[in-house]
Amino acid sequence: MFQNCPLGYTLTYDERRQFMHDHGTVGRTYAGKIWQYITGSIGLDDFEWGVTLFAETPLMFKKIIAEMRYYEASSVYGEFPYFVVGTHMDNAGLQKMFLENWEA
């Protein structure tokens, strides 16, 4: 959230705590719908940390991002350079996707 934003560290601890509390309150409403892994990369990447999200449908990503963008922690201090989205399926799902309704 405060990644490379120098303004983030000029805030007091209580201000940062309140921003993170608001951010977390929204995030907790998606418990069971989105799973997250937070990784740190201080000194190894352009950002101090990253968040990887998993969900059954990409719609959940759209919903949480759209909701969080209006909170100051994201709208003022967040940097979101890019999103990478993918999918995972088993062999049966892959075959169904490529072979179902296939016309030769």
The Cα–Cα gap between 4 and 8 comes to 8
Mean pLDDT of 64-87: 79
The pTM for the full model equals 0.63
The Cα–Cα gap between 78 and 21 comes to 15
Q: For 84-104, how does the pLDDT look when each residue is reduced to its tens digit (9 = 90+)?
A: 777 778 888 888 878 876 665
